[in-house]
Amino acid sequence: MRVGLHALGIGDGARPEVIRAVATAAEATGFARLWCGEHVVLVDAPASRYPYSADGRIAVPADADWLDPLLALSFAAAVTNRIELATGVLLLPEHNPVLVAKQVATLDVLSAGRFSLGVGVGWSAEEFAALGVPFAGRGRRTDEYLAAMRTLWTQDPASYTGEFARFDAIRVNPKPLRGGRLPVVIGGNSDTALRRAVTLAEGWYGFNVPVADIPARIAALADECARHGRDLGELTVAVAPSDGTPEHLPGLAAAGVTELVVVGAPPTTPDGAAMWVKELARTWISPVA
């Protein structure tokens, strides 16, 4: 089982010197992948419920720095050579799919094929309103945007007509390096997210999932695979547990987790951030090795 690190882009993790320190230390100590999430907008008193905490509130303060994940990961790509990169997650229905298709293919090329696109449908109605995107129908919009983007990655010229996206005989380059099949990972813990991962993607990312719930979620993922004619082994299964310890690693591997994602906030200084990553590696990677 691989170990990833979700630590870039927010607060002190948004500072370039800290990103450099975390990324280079993570690569040197054996982390498999760097994850970076997204919110374009936060509000001080949201009415929308955050689905990944018991109290329905996101832990990040509304006034915290939060970098665009594609730009943050481009910076991380420039200071590393081997470690993989992933959005965890990009809120796809908030964006123009033609633009995102070009941006992520560009990042894939610049990182020499190290990038995976993690996407989610979003939960904040306030964020969608600020961006002028309807909150209703965001799941259908996500599905269609993925189809449109794959059309752009695999056809040249490309045409697509749908409810939310349409273009005719356009060329969008560069193309992703892996034959136009840039890996897509679906984030979200709901049954709908699992179904979307099986039917539209190459992997699933469960965020802040209690350890006790992970085997049941993977069993549900396997059921969806059986229902849609896929083998669970075709999918990457990345999970960031809300309460995991290294003692849980064997059980998580047995349940089908292929990547354990450690979530944390780095210290304020580059030296402190590098030491923090090394300590995380001793805690989480050494037991796996």
Rounded CA-CA distance 1/253 in Å is 6
- Compute how many other C-beta atoms are within 10 angstroms of the C-beta atom of residue 212: 11
Rounded CA-CA distance 98/167 in Å is 9
Confidence of residue 37 (pLDDT cuts 50, 70, 90): very high
Q: What is the pTM of this model?
A: 0.97
Please report how the helices 138-154 and 97-110 are oriented relative to each other, as an axis angle in degrees rounded to 10. Answer: 50
Which tokens belong to 119? Answer: 């996407």
The kind and range of the H/E element at 280 are helix 270-288
The arithmetic mean of pLDDT across residues 223-227, rounded, is: 98
pLDDT digit string, tens, across residues 9-31? 999 999 999 999 999 999 999 99
Helix (H, G, I), strand (E, B) or coil at 251: helix
CB under 8 Å to 78, separation ≥6 — which residues? 110
Which tokens belong to 133? Answer: 């995107």
Burial class (CB in 10 A: 0-12, 13-18, 19+), 220: middle
Rounded CA-CA distance 247/239 in Å is 15
Mean of all residue pLDDT scores within the chain = 97
Half-sphere exposure of 63 (CA within 13 A, CB side): 0
The arithmetic mean of pLDDT across residues 230-257, rounded, is: 97
pLDDT digit string, tens, across residues 69-127? 999 999 999 999 999 999 999 999 999 999 999 999 999 999 999 999 999 999 999 99
Rounded CA-CA distance 87/92 in Å is 11
The arithmetic mean of pLDDT across residues 217-226, rounded, is: 98
Contact assessment for residue 180 and residue 113, using Cβ atoms and an 8 Å cutoff? no
The predicted structure's pLDDT at residue 286: 87
Residue carrying structure tokens 């004619």 = 229
Residues in the chain: 289
- Compute how many other C-beta atoms are within 10 angstroms of the C-beta atom of residue 162: 16
- The percent of residues above 70 in pLDDT, for the chain, comes to 100
The arithmetic mean of pLDDT across residues 36-63, rounded, is: 96
Rounded CA-CA distance 170/156 in Å is 7
- Compute how many other C-beta atoms are within 10 angstroms of the C-beta atom of residue 133: 18
pLDDT for 273 beyond 80: yes
